[in-house]
Amino acid sequence: MVVRLEHGAGGIEMLEFILKHIVSKVPPEVRNPPEGVGLDFLDDGALIRVGEGEYLALTIDSYTVKPLKFPGGDIGRLAASGTINDLLMMGARPLALVDAIVVEEGVEESLVEEVIRSFAETAASVGVFVVGGDFKVMPRGSLDTMVVATAGVGFTRTPLVDRRISPGDVVVVSGPVGDHGAVIAAAQLGLLDRVKGLSSDVRPLNDLMIPLLERYGRYIKAARDPTRGGLAGVLSEWARGVGLTIVINREAVPIREATRSFLELLGVDPLNSASEGVAVLAVSREVSDEVVEYMRKLGYTEAAVVGEVIEPRTPFLRGRVIARTEVGGYTILEPNPQLTPRIC
C-alpha cells in the first residue's frame, strides 16, 4: 500500500490514515497532557493547562498550495491566516507564530521576500508576533518551488473542544463557503481568465472570534474553519466524534453565485470545497439568533444558521450528517473532498 492524494484531502480517508498510521503509533500515555487536549481529540490544535483555569493553545500546519499566488492571497497570507485561525478555533487569543520555509534551488530571491512580507503583514494586521523560524534549500527538481510550515501559540480561559456538542445545539456559519477551493481549482485548471468573480476568502478571523468568545464563549460548543474537506468534512467529524446526527438545510448555507456555478460545472459539491476565512460554530440554541445578529454587526453580514444537532433516530444515522435538499428531500451528506491537490 502507498500513500495516495486522498489521504491528505480532508475526508474520511485522511482521518482513517491519521488514526491508523500516526495516532496509533504514539503511546497512549503521551497523547494528551494532564487536564489538556491532544492527539486523542484531533482538533485544530492542542491545549496544555499552564495555570488555574488558563491554557496554552498550540497548533502547527504545513502549506503546499499551488499556485503560490492566487486571486485573494498567496502562500504567505494563507500560512499566517490558517495558523491564526486554528488557534482561534480552539478558543485562544493568538500570540505568536514561527515558520519554516523550504525552497527549491533556483527560486528568485524576490519571491521568498514577497512571501515573507505577506506572512508578516498578515500577522501584524491582527497584532500577532512573528518570533522565529527556519530556512532550507532543496536541490533543483526535488521540491516544487516552496513549502511553508507554521506553528502558533496562544492563551485561553475559554477553551473550545468539539466533544462538547450536544443535542439541540445549532450550527452557524459566518459567511459564504467554498471560495478558496474554487479559486485554486480554477487556477490549477488554467481557467482564471475565463471564469469571473472567483477569489479566495483567506483572512485571519480575529475580528470575529475574539469578540464572540468574550460575549458568548460559554455558549459556543465547538468551532472550526472548514479548510480541507469543507463544511461537509467539519460536520462529519463533529457527528462522528460525539455519536450524534447533524441535520443541515442546504438552502440556508451561504454560497457565492460565482463559486456555486463554477464548482457545479466541475461536478463538485460546494459543501466539500475549502474555505480559508470562514468559521463554523456549534452554539446553544437559546442564543443562536443573538449570535448570528452579533456576527452580522461585526461585518459578517451573511452569517446564518444552517443546521442543528439531534439524537440519531436509528443506529444507522449515528455519527452521520443529513442534508435537507432544495426540493425538500433528505440525503446523507458524506465528506467527498474536491480532489484538487495542494489547495492549502
The three cell numbers of residue 58 are 498550540
Tell me the torsion sign for CA atoms 188, 190, 195, 198: positive
* Between residues 312 and 3, the one the model is more confident about: 312
pLDDT over 70 at 94, yes or no: yes
Q: Which of 6-10, 48-52, 318-322 comes out lowest in average pLDDT?
A: 6-10
Nearest partner of 121 among 174, 176, 84, judged by Cα: 84
End-to-end CA distance of the chain: 25
% of the chain exceeding 90 in pLDDT: 79
Mean pLDDT of the region 154-178: 95
Peptide bond before residue 176 is cis, with ω within 30 degrees of 0: no
Domain locations in the chain as residue ranges: 32-156, 162-332
Q: What are the pLDDT digits (tens) for 281-295? A: 999 999 999 999 999
Q: Which CATH superfamily is domain 162-332 in?
A: PurM-like C-terminal domain (3.90.650.10)
Q: What are the pLDDT digits (tens) for 199-256? A: 999 999 999 999 999 999 999 999 999 998 899 999 999 999 999 999 999 999 999 9
What pLDDT was estimated at residue 337? 65
Domain 32-156: which topology?
Answer: 60s Ribosomal Protein L30; Chain: A; (3.30.1330)
- Domains 32-156 and 162-332 in one fold: no
> Backbone phi, then psi, for 316, in 5-degree steps?
-60, -30
Mean pLDDT of the region 303-330: 92
pLDDT over 70 at 103, yes or no: yes
The listed range with the strongest mean pLDDT (15-24, 199-208, 318-327) is 199-208
What pLDDT was estimated at residue 41? 85
Look at the block and give the residue holding cell 481529540.
Answer: 41
**At residue 172, what is the residue type?**
V
Residue 340's Cβ-count burial label (10 Å; 0-12, 13-18, 19+) is buried
What's the mean pLDDT when you consider all of the chain?
Answer: 94
Alpha helices in the chain (DSSP H): 12-21, 75-89, 109-124, 179-188, 206-216, 230-242, 257-266, 288-297
